[in-house]
């Protein structure tokens, strides 16, 4: 399988994250990509390359221009800072209201971010753009028929990134970039099997009929992002009925997950898409530190084989998975079965 790797991922390495008023080590670490790359090298059958160029053009239709400009400028601001503390831009105030007048840099940090897990660092913009560009390249290869399936190996992840806000470790929504690119060639289904709901992907396409978004994830009543991913969110306007959420309770294991996955795949089949974007996260694994599900490594092979039965040209985009000892094996199992 052809793998498009983010050449800039290492430029973003958050020193920690704020959790309930305390700084804790960041789960979204550089070692995630290294662990996946090592597992794929050991498995064999994968070729690695980088996108030919990094371009903001791939973000059109996915993210607001003002947000893209903010993230670019904020990363540059952090890079110019001499004080090490000033190289980490954290939101402290979250402007709200019908039309919040947020103009100063401190206010803008909260205007363009929705949590305290997602700082902007000197290399954040480059790393996020690298992932989006890798997803765009993969979409072009699949859309042109050059490849049946392409895997995007990237971090930071992307599916929590909203049109105009970062959050959940995510800055640019790579899965949405791939779906937007493919939608120029035919209808697209986005299948999100990360343990956390991809709120950004849902909201980007929520009023569109040409992109189906389907997600199996932990119930947002108990799991991040807490505000999105409920079963009654089905789309709006032209997109009414083109969004399916299948939330599951904490502790979900294979027995409970299997019928939920079947329901998600039935929805994809009924939509009859020309292309699939598979937003894959390994954080539903039983050992993941922030997931809460109980899926085994062996089940990820079954997951890949089941998705393969859709028989759709596919872009697979890496999302979560935070246990460095198991994330690589989960990815390898899914991809080996997906490509048959």
Distance CA 21, CA 323 (A): 24
Residue whose token pair is 């371009």: 55
Residue 22 has pLDDT above 90, yes or no: no
Residue 160 has pLDDT above 90, yes or no: yes
Residue 48 has pLDDT above 90, yes or no: yes
pLDDT given for residue 23 in this prediction: 87
Confidence class for position 156, pLDDT limits 50, 70, 90: very high
Distance CA 119, CA 55 (A): 22
Distance CA 209, CA 199 (A): 17
Q: Are strands 314-318 and 275-280 parallel, antiparallel or unpaired?
A: parallel
Residue 11 has pLDDT above 90, yes or no: yes
Question: What backbone torsions phi and psi does residue 49 show, to the nearest 5 degrees?
Answer: -155, 170
The whole-number average pLDDT for the span 246-273 is: 98
Residue 329 has pLDDT above 90, yes or no: yes
Distance CA 192, CA 198 (A): 7
- State yes or no: is 160 an active-site residue: yes
Confidence class for position 36, pLDDT limits 50, 70, 90: very high
What percent of the chain clears pLDDT 70, i.e. is strictly above it? 100
pLDDT given for residue 193 in this prediction: 98
Distance CA 157, CA 78 (A): 21
* Residue 288 in tokens: 């993941």
pLDDT given for residue 20 in this prediction: 87
> Which residue in the list 9, 63, 159, 160 is annotated as catalytic?
160
The whole-number average pLDDT for the span 200-223 is: 98
pLDDT given for residue 298 in this prediction: 97
pLDDT given for residue 340 in this prediction: 85
The whole-number average pLDDT for the span 22-47 is: 96
**Looking at domain 2-64+131-338, what is its CATH homologous superfamily?**
Histone deacetylase domain (3.40.800.20)
Residue 293 has pLDDT above 90, yes or no: yes
C-alpha dihedral, 294 to 222 to 62 to 64, nearest 10°? -150
Residue 21 has pLDDT above 90, yes or no: no
Peptide bond into 225 cis (omega under 30): yes
pLDDT tens-digit readout, 215-250: 999 999 999 999 999 999 999 999 999 999 999 999
């Amino acid at each position: 399988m052809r793998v498009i790797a983010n050449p800039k991922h290492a430029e973003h390495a958050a020193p920690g994250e704020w959790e309930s008023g305390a700084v804790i080590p960041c789960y979204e670490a550089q070692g995630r990509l290294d662990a996946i790359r090592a597992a794929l090298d050991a498995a064999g059958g994968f070729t690695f390359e980088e996108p030919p160029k990094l371009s903001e053009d791939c973000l059109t239709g996915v993210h607001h221009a003002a947000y893209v400009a903010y993230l670019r400028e904020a990363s540059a601001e952090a890079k110019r800072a001499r004080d090490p503390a000033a190289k980490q831009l954290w939101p402290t105030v979250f402007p709200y209201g019908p039309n919040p007048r947020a103009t100063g840099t401190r206010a803008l940090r909260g205007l363009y971010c929705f949590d305290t897990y997602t700082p902007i660092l000197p290399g954040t913009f480059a790393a996020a753009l690298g992932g989006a560009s890798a997803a765009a390249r993969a979409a072009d290869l699949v859309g042109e028929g050059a490849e049946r399936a392409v895997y995007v190996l990237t971090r930071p992840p992307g599916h929590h990134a909203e049109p105009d806000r970062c959050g959940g470790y995510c800055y640019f929504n790579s899965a949405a970039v791939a779906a937007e690119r493919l939608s120029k060639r035919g209808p697209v289904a986005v299948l999100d099997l990360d343990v956390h709901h991809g709120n950004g992907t849902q909201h980007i396409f929520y009023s569109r009929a040409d992109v189906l978004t389907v997600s199996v994830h932990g119930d947002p009543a108990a799991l991040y992002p807490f505000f999105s991913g409920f079963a009654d969110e089905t789309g709006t306007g032209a997109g009414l009925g083109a969004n399916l959420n299948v939330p599951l309770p904490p502790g979900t294991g294979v027995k409970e997950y299997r019928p939920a996955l079947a329901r998600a795949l039935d929805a994809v089949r009924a939509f009859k898409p020309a292309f699939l974007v598979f937003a894959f996260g390994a954080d539903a694994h039983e050992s993941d530190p922030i997931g809460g599900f109980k899926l085994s490594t062996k089940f990820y092979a079954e997951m890949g084989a089941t998705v393969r039965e859709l028989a759709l040209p596919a872009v697979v985009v890496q999302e979560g998975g935070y246990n460095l000892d198991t994330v690589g094996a989960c990815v390898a199992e899914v991809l080996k079965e997906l490509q048959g």
